Amino acid sequence: MDYQGSAPAPRTCYTCGVVGHQARECPQKGPAK
């Protein structure tokens, strides 16, 4: 099968801008409240 353009976009963190995790999972955000 050919999945042209169907790959999901990489997750980018809005907190630190690093690709691979989301802001809620950001290790730089500090401890969870």
What single string gives the DSSP state of each residue in 1-33?
---TT-SPPPPB-TTT--BTS-GGG-TTS-S--
Q: How far apart are CA 30 and CA 23, in angstroms?
A: 11
Answer yes or no: is pLDDT of 27 > 70.
Answer: yes
Which pLDDT value is given to residue 17? 94
Question: Are the beta carbons of 23 and 29 closer than 8 angstroms?
Answer: yes
Which pLDDT value is given to residue 10? 83
Q: How far apart are CA 23 and CA 7, in angstroms?
A: 21
Measure CA 15 to chain center.
10
pLDDT per residue as tens digits for the range 1-26: 555 666 677 899 999 999 999 999 99
Which pLDDT value is given to residue 18? 94
